[in-house]
């Protein structure tokens, strides 16, 4: 995700969370609002985990690409 996309996601997620929390404060016994608040929290945590995993995989891929380039360079020297 590009920086601007991440910032937009964060802004909208925060806005959504704040609005649902405000509704929850107004009607704390409303089960639908409680479930909606919990659902948004779960989605946010899940998305964060996916982003972290994606970042790790990107770093691993970059490392493998560097190792491959070195290996190919060494192989070319041998040939």
Q: Pick the residue with more confidence: 79 or 70? A: 70
Q: Kindly give, in sequence order, each residue whose CB lies less than 8 Å from that of residue 27, ignoring residues fewer than 6 positions away.
A: 33
Q: Pick the residue with more confidence: 57 or 78? A: 57
20: tokens are 């649902």
Give the integer Cα–Cα distance in Å for 19 and 16: 5
- Could you tell me the pLDDT band of residue 1, with boundaries at 50, 70 and 90? confident
The confidence score (pLDDT) of residue 59 equals: 98
Tens of pLDDT, residues 11-56: 999 999 999 999 999 999 999 999 999 999 999 999 999 999 999 9
The confidence score (pLDDT) of residue 79 equals: 84
């Amino acid at each position: 995700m590009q920086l601007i996309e991440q910032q937009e996601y964060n802004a909208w997620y925060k806005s959504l969370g704040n609005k649902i929390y405000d509704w929850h404060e107004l009607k704390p016994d409303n089960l639908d609002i409680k479930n909606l608040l919990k659902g948004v929290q779960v989605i946010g945590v899940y998305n964060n985990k996916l982003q972290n995993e994606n970042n790790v995989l990107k770093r691993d891929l970059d490392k493998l690409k560097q190792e491959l380039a070195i290996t190919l360079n060494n192989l070319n020297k041998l040939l």
